[in-house]
A and B are shown apart, each in its own frame.
Chain A
């Protein structure tokens, strides 16, 4: 994996900085500032594209399930190997107004009307079980130049474009709004490619035999 420092070295050329010492010796951008731009770009890219998924198995004994810190959106959930269907509070209320006091084997889960970072089962599990989830994952924030980047390497040029965009948009003598906007457009092009890659990964309807 590429490190924060090696991405900074590439970005330095476009900012007319010295690649061997950027951002440490820069007079325009601080190290913390550039790292925060990279964190911004990686988080925004993940949010817009959903390319990074997380898989987790959580031990659960209550209705409320505490999701992993990097979870944004639960795509699929199961309890003890049985798939849970997504529902809403409205669904559960209409089905049974006393659903919160029920105990049994969970069949549904919901994410609405909750503190972010939690999902809720439709019943309290009758015994402790394992809730497996597949979710959209957010990258961890970096704090040092030696950290490895979270977004896979093929997408790093687009992360670099957004970092350049943010750097050039900063108020000051080095501000260049025109180049900043252009860099952002190139970043959005990468977002579009990644989204197409996800959509292109959708399965075909199985398997249509032409001879049938």
Chain B
């Protein structure tokens, strides 16, 4: 679906007589609200994971998160994933800061807030690693496709209609609240699906073996010894 189509739908639901020359809302305003919906969509559902390259070198461990990513989820060196630690854990295992030795293989990464990340050990020269994470803010134009799953388009429309009604305030805002609730329910549903889809991503081991504490077994109380 094109952005312009969704804007038309929203304006009709807002009882604008003309979608091309609306009176109470402008098309730009509705598009801004759609961009807000898309940002919340990514942050709540975990959809929209992108890969961005990061240049690392032999003299640093800590790097600012590259543009285009709002939250790092994994780091790859070529095709191989690095293990994710906290800085605290890494401190307890390695004297990483005074360890100036370099290596062609990076094995560990740690998030530092949502603004930096740490990579260990240092690279043996300038090289590129790949950061996977939630896509950062993106603007849309009327002629672009909506960057979301098809099944979420109606929920996004609900979000935007409710968002537009904020300007009206009072009873009209209150009456549009069920639309926002529908959006939240759809987003939660998709977030749950995405967790299942990703399983057992957070259990990546050097052997890449599936956890014996598998989700189904745990849910059924059949955890094996």
Binding site for B on A (CB under 8 A): 2, 10, 13-14, 16, 19, 50-53, 55, 75-76, 78, 80-83, 132, 134, 136-137, 152-157, 176, 178-179, 182-183, 193-194, 197-198, 201-204, 206-211
Size bin of chain B's contact surface: 35 or more
How many Å lie between the Cα of A81 and that of B94 in the bound state? 12
B134 nearest in chain A by CB position: A154
- B136-156 residues with Cβ-Cβ distance < 8 A to A are 136-137
B130: min CB distance to chain A, Å: 18
Q: Number of contacts between A and B (CB, 8 Å)?
A: 124
Q: CB distance B98 to A210 under 8 Å?
A: no
In the bound complex, residues from chain A placing their C-beta under 8 Å from that of B210 are 210
In the bound complex, residues from chain B placing their C-beta under 8 Å from that of A154 are 39, 42-43, 70, 134, 136-137
Binding site for A on B (CB under 8 A): 25-26, 28-29, 32, 36, 39-40, 42-44, 62, 70-72, 83-87, 89, 91, 95, 97-98, 110-116, 134, 136-137, 166-167, 169-170, 173, 202-207, 209-213
Q: CB distance B98 to A13 under 8 Å?
A: no
How many Å lie between the Cα of A132 and that of B60 in the bound state? 13
In the bound complex, residues from chain B placing their C-beta under 8 Å from that of A203 are 84-86, 89, 110
Q: Residue among A51, A76, A136, A210 with the most chain B CB within 10 A?
A: A210
In the bound complex, residues from chain A placing their C-beta under 8 Å from that of B70 are 152-155
Q: CB distance A50 to B91 under 8 Å?
A: no
B168: min CB distance to chain A, Å: 9
How many Å lie between the Cα of A153 and that of B212 in the bound state? 40
Q: CB distance A14 to B167 under 8 Å?
A: yes
The 9 closest A-B pairs by CB, nearest first: A81-B98, A153-B137, A53-B113, A203-B86, A154-B70, A201-B111, A51-B114, A157-B36, A203-B85
In the bound complex, residues from chain A placing their C-beta under 8 Å from that of B98 are 80-82
Given A81-B98, A83-B91, decide whether A209 and B110 contact each other with a Cβ distance below 8 A: no
How many Å lie between the Cα of A153 and that of B36 in the bound state? 10
5 extra interface residue pairs, beta carbon distance < 8 Å, beyond A83-B97, A204-B203, A211-B209 = A13-B25, A81-B98, A154-B134, A154-B137, A198-B114
How many Å lie between the Cα of A182 and that of B89 in the bound state? 40
Q: CB distance A55 to B136 under 8 Å?
A: no
In the bound complex, residues from chain B placing their C-beta under 8 Å from that of A197 are 43, 71, 114
How many Å lie between the Cα of A78 and that of B212 in the bound state? 39
13 CB-based A-B contacts, threshold 8 Å: A19-B28, A53-B112, A81-B97, A81-B98, A83-B95, A153-B136, A176-B169, A204-B203, A206-B89, A207-B83, A207-B206, A209-B209, A210-B211
How many Å lie between the Cα of A207 and that of B169 in the bound state? 52
In the bound complex, residues from chain B placing their C-beta under 8 Å from that of A152 are 70, 114-115, 136-137
How many Å lie between the Cα of A68 and that of B71 in the bound state? 25
How many Å lie between the Cα of A154 and that of B70 in the bound state? 7
How many Å lie between the Cα of A52 and that of B170 in the bound state? 36
A49: min CB distance to chain B, Å: 8
B30: min CB distance to chain A, Å: 9
Q: CB distance A156 to B137 under 8 Å?
A: yes
In the bound complex, residues from chain A placing their C-beta under 8 Å from that of B206 are 207, 209
Q: CB distance A78 to B97 under 8 Å?
A: yes
Q: CB distance B114 to A210 under 8 Å?
A: no
B156: min CB distance to chain A, Å: 14
Given A13-B29, A154-B70, decide whether A53 and B97 contact each other with a Cβ distance below 8 A: no
How many Å lie between the Cα of A137 and that of B115 in the bound state? 10
In the bound complex, residues from chain B placing their C-beta under 8 Å from that of A201 are 71-72, 111, 113-114
How many Å lie between the Cα of A141 and that of B212 in the bound state? 51
B180 nearest in chain A by CB position: A186
